[in-house]
Amino acid sequence: MDVEKVRADFPILDREINGYPLAYLDSGNTSQKPRQVIDAMREHYERHNGNVSRSVHTLGTEATEAYEAARAAVATFVGAASPAEIVFTKNSTEAINLVAHAFSANADDPRFRLGLGDEIVISEMEHHSNIVPWQLLCQRTGATLRWFGVTDEGRLDESRLDELVTERTRLVSVVHVSNILGTINRPERIVRRAREVGALVMLDASQSVPHLPVDVAALGVDLIAFTGHKMCGPTGIGALWGRYEVLDAMPPFLGGGSMIETVELTGSTFKAPPDRFEAGTPPIAQAVGLGAAVAYLNGIGMDAIAAHERELARYALDALATVPGLRIFGPTTPVDRGATISFDLAGVHPHDVGQILDNEGVEVRVGHHCARPVCVRFGVAAMTRASFYLYTTTDEVDRLVRGLGTVRKVFG
Amino acid sequence: MDLYQEIIVDHYKHPHGRGLREPFDAEAHHVNPTCGDEVTVRVQLADGLIEDVSYEGMGCSISQASASVLHDLVRGRTVAEALTRHDAFAELMAGRGRVTPDEALLGDGVAFSGVARYPARVKCALLPWMAFKDALTRAAAEPTTVGGTHHD
């Protein structure tokens, strides 16, 4: 993979920040967008704009075809059995909430029936979007929320798997790649145990689909959630993948246009998935943009992107180890970890670290990264996080390390 | 950069009057949910004067240095004087770098002028001041209350 060639596709990377070339090390937060995606969305608005699934005219037909082509591209990208297994949502958060709302005391399908004595299992490593929807669900139904712990090395602690995932478990929902520790979780054991007890398995794939080849069939899970803006696509669109039979067992989420078969004032009937879950006018141009993003990533190759990021992670872990007083949270070797590295610099608050780095054009994220339980687990209020992507260079990692030298000087 | 003035870094490393002290009329605990910065401020009044302002907190250099400066600026002042200083500091922070601070009124607080140009950090600087105003309002409203059990 030729990084300089890739970088030429991203107009924003030409920017200067505070007199320095931009070093964007916050792709775990949101990725930058290649010209191909921006152009596809502009062309859609300039040439093909119409509403989908309800127009007989030419523009409506073109828009519908573009929207469905994007669904098919996304389906192929994650190894779905058919495009009908992809539900477009606003983001990962909405995808997870959609699944949470499928559970209730009187669900038709027993797998989605949830009440007192039933359990949902998550982990201490989750983003708030894979914690709060389940807390709310447990409040609604009286079910109990349980979780896997995290080891000192930042790995999922599966040592109590059989006690945690039991006949009472209805769903296990864990993160595929941690947005804060960078840990790559292998769900095989969890899936095997869930199958034994008849529980469903969901993965929050927000940080894996953009960075690794993901094949839902190989993962063996039932549902995954991911989002467009972290994979070179626009904001405002994400996706829920589910095995069709599982999606088909789920009741509607939001009600409205496009998701119904017939509507009478006395009651309505609903379409099959994925339409059942896409009420109202969907994010059409955003879907077109996401389709273009998938084409872009395919053009470079997810294997090549993953290899590039592995190399960056190895390089950055070595480079950061040379900074005095720096402590890395999560795996310190580039094995089963992504190119997202969170750390603490002794005596300096992450907000100050981030501010001084920004002054030199190095953009990192600081705070609790929407994964506050991880900060609590490691005894800190906040962390500084550098997260890389296909356009990140080792030179940018060097600038991060030099910037940390400036931080130490200011607070020395 | 103009954000990390030496005065601010000094207050951060060597805070003035830090630590929660007794007795106190009222206290307030404020949190900045976006970054997790926290501060608890206690106010003790005597004869219309702010006899003591004590505080404890965790957070970035801006929020912690701001608490230290706050302590210097309002301790020993009348309630009215303290509120004038609060308002002047708040005005400086809202000024996006276009307000010229009154050094006679704000002392070391003028070092925070640069912070006003960083909207993401203004909340950090204001955090202890908001907690102080909150505690002061409670203390002034219930001058005989001891033990300040109010929390946000």
Contact B3 A382 (CB under 8 A): no
B149 pLDDT band, cuts 50/70/90, is very low
Query: What is the structure's pLDDT at A129?
Result: 98
Which pLDDT belongs to residue B147? 44
Given a cut of 70, is residue B4 above it in pLDDT? yes
Q: Sort out which chain B residues have CB atoms less than 8 A from A18's CB and list them.
A: 1
Could you report the per-residue pLDDT of A314-373, keeping only the tens digit for each? 999 999 999 999 999 999 999 999 999 999 999 899 999 999 999 999 999 998 899 999
Boundaries of every domain in chain A: 3-30+301-410, 38-298
pLDDT classification of A55: cutoffs 50, 70, 90: confident
Residue A232 is among the residues annotated as catalytic for this protein: no
Share of chain A above pLDDT 90, in %: 97
- Kindly state the average pLDDT of the residues B59-65: 94
**Among all residues of chain A, which has the CA nearest to that of B60?**
A349
Q: Tell me the residues of B at the A interface, defined by beta carbons under 8 Å apart.
A: 1, 3-4, 9, 12-13, 34-38, 58-62, 118, 121, 124
Are the C-beta atoms of A145 and A119 separated by less than 8 Å?
yes
Contact A201, A222 (CB under 8 A): yes
**pLDDT > 90 fraction of chain B, expressed in percent and rounded:** 74
Q: Which of A128, A355, A375, A384 to mutate to test the interface with B (most CBs of B within 10 A)?
A: A355
> Chain A partners of B1 at a C-beta cutoff of 8 Å?
18, 355-356, 359
Taking the CA of residue A371 and the nearest CA in chain B, the distance in Å comes to 12
Q: How many Å apart are CA B62 and CA A147, to the nearest integer?
A: 36
Q: Could you tell me how many CB contacts below 8 A there are between chain A and chain B? A: 48
Question: pLDDT for A151-194, tens place per residue?
Answer: 999 999 999 999 999 999 999 999 999 999 999 999 999 999 99
Domain A3-30+301-410 belongs to what topology? Aspartate Aminotransferase, domain 1 (3.90.1150)
Count of alpha carbons within 13 Å of A300, Cβ hemisphere only? 30
pLDDT in tens, B109-135: 999 999 999 988 999 999 999 999 999
Kindly determine whether residue A351 and residue B9, on different chains, have CB atoms separated by under 8 Å: no
- Does residue B144 carry a pLDDT above 70? no
Q: What is the pLDDT of residue B71?
A: 97
pLDDT at B151: 42
Q: Which fold has domain B6-141?
A: Sufe protein. Chain: A (3.90.1010)
pLDDT reading at B145 higher than 70: no
Task: Report the residue of A352, A385, A409, A411 to disrupt the B interface, i.e. the one with the largest count of B CBs within 10 Å.
Answer: A352
Residues of chain A with Cβ-Cβ distance to B4 below 8 Å are 352, 355-356, 410
CB of A351 within 8 Å of any CB in chain B? yes
Name the residue among A168, A172, A193 with its Cα closest to residue A118.
Answer: A168
pLDDT, tens digit (0-9, with 9 covering 90-100), for A111-159 = 999 999 999 999 999 999 999 999 999 999 999 999 999 999 999 999 9
Catalytic residue among A138, A232, A370, A375: A370
Pick from A42-46, A216-220, B11-15, B32-36: least confident: B32-36
- Mean pLDDT value across residues B55-82: 95
The token pair that represents A215 in the structure block: 């094949």
Closest-CA distance of chain B to residue A394, Å: 26
- Contact B43/B139 with Cβ under 8 angstroms? yes
Model pLDDT, residue B1? 67
**Average pLDDT over all residues of chain A:** 97
A359 lies within 8 A of chain B by CB:
yes
Sign of CA dihedral A368, A371, A373, A375: negative
Distance CA A401, CA A394 (A): 11
Query: Per DSSP, what are the bridge partners of residue B46?
Result: B49
Min CA distance, A104 vs chain B (Å)?
Answer: 31
Whether A381 contacts chain B with CB within 8 A: yes
**d(Cα B140, Cα B143) in Å, to the nearest integer?**
5
* Distance (Å) from the alpha carbon of B32 to chain A's nearest alpha carbon: 11
How distant is the Cα of A229 from the closest Cα of chain B, in angstroms? 21
Question: Quick one: average pLDDT of B41-54?
Answer: 95
pLDDT value for A265 = 96
Residue among A18, A348, A349 with most chain B CBs within 10 A, to mutate: A349
pLDDT at B79 over 90: yes
Please state the rounded mean pLDDT for residues A201-207: 98
Q: Is the pLDDT of residue A38 over 70?
A: yes
Q: Looking at the predicted structure, is the pLDDT value of residue A207 above 50?
A: yes
- Report chain B residues whose CB lies below 8 A from the CB of A350: 60
What ipTM describes this predicted complex?
0.82
Task: Give the pLDDT of residue B37.
Answer: 85
- Does residue B150 surpass a pLDDT of 70? no
**What contacts A164, CB < 8 A, 6 or more positions away?**
A121, A146, A147, A148
For chain B, say whether A345 makes contact (Cβ under 8 Å): no
In this prediction, what percent of chain A has a pLDDT beyond 70? Answer: 100
Minimum-distance CB partner of B1 among A359, A368, A382: A359
The pLDDT assigned to A323 comes to 97
Number of alpha helices (DSSP H) and beta strands (DSSP E) in chain B: 5, 3
pLDDT for residue A53 = 81
Shortest Cα distance, chain A CAs vs residue B60, angstroms: 5
Q: Which residue out of B2, B4, B8 would a mutagenesis test of the A interface target, given it has the greatest number of A Cβ atoms within 10 Å? A: B4
Q: Are A171 and A201 in contact (CB under 8 A)?
A: yes
Query: A341 phi and psi, to 5 degrees?
Result: -125, 120
Q: Is some CB atom of chain B closer than 8 A to the CB atom of A115?
A: no
Contacts with A352 from chain B: Cβ below 8 Å: 4, 60-62
Q: A349–B61: do the CB atoms touch at under 8 Å? A: yes
A354 in contact with B at a CB cutoff of 8 Å?
Answer: no
Rounded to two decimals, what is the model's pTM? 0.92
pLDDT at position A307: 98
A352 has a chain B CB within 8 A of its CB: yes
pLDDT(A241) > 80: yes
Candidates B38, B58, B121; nearest CB to A355: B121
Residue A250: is its pLDDT beyond 80? yes
For the segment A78-96, the average pLDDT, to the nearest whole number, is: 98
Q: How confident is the model at residue B43 (pLDDT cuts 50, 70, 90)?
A: very high
Tell me what percent of the residues of chain B surpass a pLDDT of 70.
92
Does residue A377 have a pLDDT over 50? yes
Out of 3.40.640.10, 3.90.1300.10, 3.40.50.800, 3.90.1860.10, select the CATH number for domain A38-298: 3.40.640.10
